[in-house]
Chain A
Amino acid sequence: MATDNLELYEVFVRARRGLDHKHVGSLHAQDAEQALEYARDCYTRRSEGVSIWVVRSRDICASQEDDSESFYDPSDDKPYRHATYYQLPEAVNNM
């Protein structure tokens, strides 16, 4: 099948009510409706999900792996954002 003229879609599946939709893969389709049907046939053949999201891949704005150092750098020197940074005596350490 020629996929050149088809849109690429990213597929997200919610495995169970209450859980986040999780990225599972991508596929080509003519439009969103078709992408949903393909996603159902491709990614949930064994009842893997209760809800599917499809998003046009080109609509996804992503951070670049190459920039990750400077992008995430600001959080690297802030260990005090973690609970384990605060040493409390054993008697009250259950908070």
Chain B
Amino acid sequence: MMTPEQNFMRKIEAEEKIEPKDWMPETYRQNLIRQISQHAHSEVIGMQPEGNWITRAPSLRRKAVLLSKVQDEGGHGLYLYSSCETLGVKRADLIAAMQSGEAKYASIFNYPTQTWADIGAIGWLVDGAAIVNQVSLQRTSYGPYSRAMIRICKEESFHQRQGYELMIALAHGSPEQKAMAQDALNRFYWPALMMFGPHDAESAHSAKSMTWKIKRETNDDLRQKFIDQTVPQIEFLGLAHPDKDLKWNAERGHYDSGEIDWQEFYNVINGNGHCNRQRIEHHVRAHEEGAWVRDAMTAYNAKQQAKTTEQRQAA
């Protein structure tokens, strides 16, 4: 007879998915809740820096595209919260943890969007990095998370392309536009690399998550993929690469790159980025301003229920 734990590991090793009602170790469940909710928070907070430019998009076409993208991010947040809720947690608690700072979201969204070119850089680099990670997560061991990732990847393929298309327009435009594109690339390149998290040796949750196949590839492997794929894209734009130490390593078949400023990384994670406070304040405000809608729904349901009970008693 196998113990529940052995049976769980058998499924993991056989590449079978774990489904909500299966037995799972408590730490597996907690690890998933942390990762999926953090992912969900990132989708929702990520609407803010891009939402900042919707009213100032330079054309109706760009505005419609951006609106559509931000709308997608909201939807992706919903898929992820729902998938997290299959683990027996309440969405209200997850959101409270994010608002109190106990739960994190991707640090990249604590950087401001200063120019229109930032919208291009975010679609191209930030969504590009997210896609590298999410493609890998389609094979995560938890069924509902995996299915959410598959849906998200399918929908997100346009996000990176619209960003890059925008960058082409700027990089091949006037000298001022090209300078704006270069500036956005310079500011977003390094934070995009940080999205993959600390080096494997320093990553707190990596080893266990790899054993349980919550994560399928390590932070450094995913980051390398992104670095490699981005080089020809920067070249095509005719922009200067922000990493002056970047060099092709024929032996490894990969680019060697300069070191990330980890002090900046931890600084932003710990709440001291440009926009940390603003992002949370805005989320709290939007949440509170929507409270009357939720209250009205509760009141309506209570009324309907009372009516049904009354009718039943009368009959």
Contact = CB atoms under 8 A, between A and B. Distances in A.
Interface of A: 14, 17-18, 20, 51, 78, 80-83, 85-89, 91-92, 94-95
Interface of B: 11, 16-19, 61, 64-65, 68, 72, 128, 143, 146-147, 155, 157-158, 160-162, 164-165, 168, 229, 232-233, 236
A-side binding surface: helix, strand, loop or mixed? loop
B149 to A, nearest CB: 11
Contacts of A95: 128, 160-161, 164, 229, 233
Contact of A82 (B11, B128, B146, B158): B158
Given A18-B146, A91-B232, A83 B16 contact: no
A87 B68 CA distance: 18
Contacts of B64: 78, 80
A88 B155 CA distance: 18
Contacts of B11: 17
Given A18-B146, A78-B68, A83 B61 contact: no
B172 to A, nearest CB: 11
B158 A89 contact: no
Given A83-B157, A83-B161, A92 B65 contact: no
A86 B16 contact: no
18 contacts: A14-B19, A17-B18, A17-B19, A17-B143, A18-B16, A18-B17, A18-B143, A80-B65, A80-B162, A83-B161, A86-B158, A86-B161, A88-B164, A91-B232, A92-B164, A92-B236, A94-B229, A95-B164
B236 A91 contact: yes
Nearest to B162: A86
Interface centre among B19, B146, B232 (most CB of A within 10 A): B19
Contacts of A81: 68, 72, 155, 158
Nearest to A82: B158
Contacts of A83: 157-158, 161
A91 to B, nearest CB: 5
Contacts of A78: 64, 68
B19 A80 contact: no
Contacts of A92: 164, 232-233, 236
